[in-house]
């Protein structure tokens, strides 16, 4: 699963990298992002834009939070499918974190980044929601896939990484289902830098 990521880049770098035309925010808080926090996302509705959205889709009557959607089922599950077809986005990150289970209730945190790019384009979906104060807000989840060969020794899952030449295609509403399926299945051979971190407790959240 993907339950935490770091974004430390300036907004200007994100605007250049993704060729953003419309800024709905002028800045954001740099640092680690956790579920239920608002984070910058890149989307395309008429024009490429950057805005803030809350991480997690609400689920169930007990205020559960779904933070990831599996690539294998995201086009079919009722919670996700409408957003997948009409609300694909990118969550910019410099690092995402994963925890390796060492047994005896011990998990070791690892920091994962890209060798050839400062920014990682995490594939996600978003939709419009109503918060507890009856205000409209955007919410998002990060898509996960089976881990590639670099990540397999740490965890069985990893976030979907949208390759640079696929960013425009991923964001466009007109992209065919066949191409989208290929992107979901093509999350391999990523040139990753994996750094071992310190022991840390990791909060488990729902992943569908």
Distance CA 25, CA 129 (A): 19
pLDDT for position 100: 87
Nearest CA to 90 out of 54, 143, 38 is that of 143
pLDDT for position 205: 46
Residue 146: alpha-carbon gap to chain centroid: 15
pLDDT for position 153: 87
Judged on CB neighbours under 10 Å (0-12, 13-18, 19+), 26 is exposed
pLDDT for position 61: 62
Task: Note if 98 is an active site residue.
Answer: yes
Q: What is the pTM assigned to this prediction?
A: 0.92
pLDDT for position 204: 43
pLDDT for position 202: 44
Low-confidence ranges of the chain (pLDDT < 50): 201-208
pLDDT for position 11: 97
Tell me the three-class secondary structure of the chain, residue by residue. Answer: CCCCEEECCCHHHHHHHHCCCEECCCCCCCEEECCCCEEEEEEEECEEEEEEEEECEEECCCCEEEEEEECCCCCCCCCCHHHHHHCEEEEEECEEEEEEEEECCEEEEEEEEECCCCCEEEEEEEEEEECCCCCEEEEEEEEEEECCCCCCCCCCEEECECCHHHHHHHHCCCCCHHHHHHHHHCCCCCCEEEEEEEECCCCCCEEC
pLDDT for position 90: 98
State the average pLDDT for the chain. Answer: 91
Task: Note if 2 is an active site residue.
Answer: yes
Catalytic residue among 72, 98, 146, 195: 98
């Amino acid at each position: 699963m993907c339950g935490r990521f770091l974004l430390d880049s300036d907004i200007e770098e994100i605007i250049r990298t993704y060729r953003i035309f419309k800024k709905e925010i002028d800045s954001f808080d740099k640092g680690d992002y956790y579920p239920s926090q608002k984070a910058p996302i890149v989307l395309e509705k008429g024009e490429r834009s950057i805005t803030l959205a809350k991480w997690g889709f609400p689920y169930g009557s007990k205020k559960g939070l779904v933070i990831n959607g599996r690539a294998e089922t995201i086009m079919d599950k009722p919670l996700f499918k409408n957003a997948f077809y009409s609300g694909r986005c990118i969550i910019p990150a410099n690092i995402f974190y994963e925890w390796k289970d060492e047994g005896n209730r011990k998990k070791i945190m690892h920091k994962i980044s890209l060798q050839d790019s400062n920014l990682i384009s995490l594939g996600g979906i978003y939709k419009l929601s109503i918060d507890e104060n009856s205000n409209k807000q955007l919410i998002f989840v990060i898509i996960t896939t089976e881990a590639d060969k670099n990540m397999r020794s740490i965890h069985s899952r990893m976030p979907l990484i949208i390759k640079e030449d696929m960013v425009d295609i991923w964001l466009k509403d007109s992209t065919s289902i066949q191409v989208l399926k290929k992107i979901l299945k093509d999350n391999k051979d990523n040139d990753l830098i994996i750094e071992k971190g310190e022991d840390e407790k990791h909060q488990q959240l729902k992943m569908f």
